[in-house]
Structure 1
């Protein structure tokens, strides 16, 4: 069961990475949005490492 949780976290982490990349590629990236996404991504990474 826990591996399913880790898998879900990895999927979320990859999705956030994609969103960050997409935002950075825009002509006028929203720095606040990027910062928020990076914080969420870091929290997920920390949760993955704790398991």
Structure 2
């Protein structure tokens, strides 16, 4: 993880609980973005394919 992209106040904050909560919310955002990208890639990969359901 690139620490330079973090807000200066978050990097300097030494409170453990606040830092843990910040990291937890950051991980949730990253997980959500990864899931969205996977859906986009899947949709693009399946574009134009015919799916037969029997």
Q: Which runs of 5+ in 2 are unaligned?
A: 37-54
**Which runs of 4 or more aligned residues in structure 1 lie more than 6 Å from their structure 2 counterparts after TM superposition?**
none
Higher relative contact order, structure no. (Cα contacts within 8 Å, ≥ 6 residues apart): 1
Q: Which runs of 5+ in 1 are unaligned?
A: 1-13
Q: TM-score, normalised by structure 2?
A: 0.49
Q: TM-score, normalised by structure 1?
A: 0.51
Matched, 1:48 2:28: no
Larger Rg: 2
* RMSD of Structure 2 on Structure 1 (CA): 1.9
Higher helix share: 1
